[in-house]
Amino acid sequence: MIRRLRRDDGQTIPLHLMAGVGLLFVALAFFAVGQAEDSRNGTQTAADAAALGAAKDARDGMGPQFLDALRAGDLELIQDLLDGKELRSGHCAAASSYAERNGARVQECVRVHDPAGYRVDVRSEDSIGDSVIDGTEDKHAVATATAVIEPRCALSPRQEDPTEEPDGDPSSPADEEDEDEGDSEEEPGPVTFDCDEGGLSLDPGDPELDLDLGDLFVIRLTK
């Protein structure tokens, strides 16, 4: 026996058909939820990439300053660079580029401090799309991510002194002759660091010095 539901106009609808329609609606609703979740996940990926991109661009931008500080033997400036005090603004263009590659647009990009880095808010380019849930066709997923730049290394407590006398008699004739040649300025010696993975020495006088800021800093996402 087939049970029927009577409509206001007098027509009847089989109950098994009503159950099928209900199941279909539930399936479509689950699909809409999954569609929204996929959009949020994709937008979060875009936010993560944008924040990391801005932080990496900022870290790499410290390269010339770091080299200048090494060549000048300016340990105070080197420490400020390690602490993020000299981190410049103006790296949000990199954030926008990474966001666009992942289907989103940057809504806000700001510097953060302690530790230094960037916070980026993004909005998906495409809406969630049509679904059985009203309004999704006009809704866009949003996400936020923060990437920070943290030092891997600290300045060693004792630095090499390029003016320190070598072993031997400091008053030897050769030394006196060198002193008579004039007041030539001593070149800064190597700067040493204590790092997570051991010691590191950077010699500004080394013509083959290859400064890799990835050895000195780590970039990571944070909440």
pLDDT value at residue 31: 46
Cβ count near 200 (within 10 Å):
16
Higher-confidence position of 111 and 178: 111
pLDDT value at residue 132: 43
Q: Average pLDDT in the 97-119 region?
A: 94
Domain range annotation of the chain: 11-222
> With bands split at pLDDT 50, 70 and 90, how would you rate the model's confidence at 87?
confident
Cβ count near 197 (within 10 Å):
8
Residue 27 has pLDDT above 90, yes or no: no
In this prediction the pTM is: 0.70
Average pLDDT over the chain, rounded to an integer: 78
pLDDT value at residue 14: 57
pLDDT value at residue 186: 67
| Residues forming beta bridges with residue 120, ordered by sequence position | 109, 145
Strands (E), the chain: 4-6, 12-14, 104-112, 117-124, 142-151, 153-155, 191-195, 198-202, 217-222
Q: Which of 42, 212, 37, 177 is nearest to 123 (CA)?
A: 42
Read out DSSP for 18-83? HHHHHHHHHHHHHHHHHHHHHHHHHHHHHHHHHHHHHHHHHHHHTHHHHHHHHHHT-HHHHHHHHT
Q: Angle 75-82/63-72 helices, nearest 10 degrees?
A: 150
| Residue 117 near residue 106 (C-beta atoms within 8 A) | no
- Token digits of residue 85: 């005090």
